[in-house]
Structure 1
Amino acid sequence: MSIDDDFEVPNSAQDLPLATEPDAKFFILYIASTDPATQQPWCSDVRAALPILNQIFSAPSSPEVHYAYVGSKVEFKENPSNRFRTDWNINNIPALVRYQWVGGKVEEVGRLKEDELLDEKRVQDLIAS
């Protein structure tokens, strides 16, 4: 399985544990935390996308993806200083972000969010590009 289900997001992209090969890729899926009452992610878009993403990233040939939980509904939606908003520019979830080395720095090079993640071809294209 190629899923790291509880990734601790560092302070910046430069601190991601990205391999040094020029074509190395690092994927983070930013998702809603689990609602204790329902035992499901509190965001309906996350609940809709997870089965598709779990299937894609569970395939033997898929790269590893790191699931990062953005917090409860109150922590994410009602707190403009949530670290995922301020440090990582994550304003919509789910968001699948691809990072790579660009000019000697780790940079975001692709992103799909919300209902874009329901399109398996778009997800595969992001992984393969």
Structure 2
Amino acid sequence: MAIIDEFEAPKSTQELPVSIQPNAAFFILFLSSTDPATKQPWCSDVRESLPLLNKVFSNPSSPAVHYSYVGSRAEYKEIPGSRFRADWDIQNVPTLARYERADGKVKETGRLVERELLDESRVRALLGV
């Protein structure tokens, strides 16, 4: 469907714009930011997984995905209380998370991290395509 780049993750999952329609899902792919010196993501796992993820999400039958960047290596790894670690429990990048509305609340209903994102069948299973 579409890749929405530069998605600014809100403070909490409850603020995500998840549809109230049954089985509606909202996907966020948490990625390392681009290193200004190399013009590449600073995380090697992100660099390795992006070609497959871009291919999968560029398919018209795939749902939309929101790319959210966790900041520089120092911001993400070295600053205590990084908002992505604290608010979103993102301990590894890349992380692809699926959110759905259940019982009136937005809940995470699936997650793949790091090398799991190199398995196209696992990615497609999480997406439901």
Aligned equivalents of 1:49, 1:23: Cα separation in 2: 27
Alignment size in residue pairs:
129
The equivalent residue for 1:112 is 112
Q: Which runs of 5+ in 1 are unaligned?
A: none
Q: Unaligned stretches of 5+ in structure 2? A: none
Partner of 1:53: 53
Q: In structure 1, the residue corresponding to 2:6 is in which secondary structure? A: coil
Secondary structure class of the residue paired with 2:53: helix
Structure 1 position 17, deviation (Å)? 1.0
Moved over 4 A (4+): none
Q: Deviations over 1:54-75 (max 9, x none)?
A: 0000001100000000000000
How far off is 1:123 after superposition? 0.2
Match of 2:43 in 1: 43
CA distance in 2, matches of 1:113, 1:102: 23
Deviation of 1:104 after TM superposition, in Å, equals 1.1
- By how many angstroms is 1:80 displaced? 2.8
In the alignment, the residues of structure 1 paired with residue 39 and residue 110 of structure 2 have an alpha-carbon distance, to the nearest angstrom, of 30
Structure 2 counterpart SS, 1:98: strand
Partners of 2:33 and 2:113 lie apart in 1 by 16
The residue number in structure 2 matching 1:20 is 20
TM-superposed deviation, 1:102: 1.5
Instruction: Report matched runs for 1:78-89 at 5 Å.
Output: 78-89=78-89
Deviation at 1:18, TM superposition (A): 1.1
Q: What is the CA deviation profile of residues 7-62 of structure 1, one whole-angstrom value per residue up to 9, with x for unaligned ones?
A: 01011111101111021100000000000001110000000000000000000110
State the alpha-carbon separation in 2 of the partners of residues 46 and 35 from structure 1: 12
C-alpha displacement of 1:78: 1.0
TM norm structure 2: 0.97
Letter matched to residue 85 of structure 1? R
Structure-1-length-normalised TM-score: 0.97
| RMSD (Å), alpha carbons | 1.0
